[in-house]
Amino acid sequence: MLHVVLYEPEIPQNTGNIMRTCMASNTVLHLIEPLGFSLDEQHLKRAGMDYVKDLDYRVYKNWEEFTSQNPSENYYYMTRYGKKAPSAFDFTSCVGDIYLILGKESTGIPKEILKHQLDHCMRLPMVAKARSLNLSNCAAIIVYEVLRQLDYPGLSNVEVIKGEDWLEV
């Protein structure tokens, strides 16, 4: 199973986009508090998170609660300080669930967490003067890199709602 973990996300629109990506890719979403927004129904709708009803998501009070409930050898961290692209990791060799961890928009994942996980830190290659991409874009890129390596398990390769032959009719 694939998981996306958002460490203290601040911007509801980013989280809404990530919720949609997670729902569409059958990925579990984990939210670590504090959140920069409310998860009540009114706020979710305003942020475009209408996919939340079909999403498997969980909320944790802090990093320690998350790690105690989700122990794994397969934590991978998206950070501007990583030195390898997501494609440099072999996700097919992972045994058990895979957790893709992204930090808050303003400061990322704390150094105290990252410094002990250097071999699991990744960075999206970009021009030297760019600090980062949008958080929801980063999440989508790394989710689909893992899914590509695993050959998109359980996902449809054809349009189902309008029918796979819709363009041909």
Q: What is the pLDDT of residue 86?
A: 97
- Provide the CATH number for the domain around residue 108: 3.40.1280.10
Q: What is the pLDDT of residue 41?
A: 63
Annotated binding site: 78, 103, 124, 132
- Burial of 112 (C-beta count, 10 Å sphere; 0-12/13-18/19+): exposed
39-94 confidence digits (pLDDT tens): 876 666 555 566 778 899 999 999 999 999 999 999 999 999 999 999 999 999 99
Annotated binding site for S-adenosyl-L-methionine: 78, 103, 124, 132
Residue range 120-137: mean pLDDT, rounded: 94
* Domains: count for the chain: 1
23-42 confidence digits (pLDDT tens): 999 999 999 999 998 887 66
Domain that holds residue 9: 2-168
Instruction: Inform me whether the pLDDT recorded for 22 exceeds 90.
Output: yes
Residues near 4 by beta carbon (within 8 Å), at least 6 away in sequence = 18, 21, 22, 27, 28, 29, 30, 99, 100, 102, 139, 143
Average pLDDT, the chain: 92
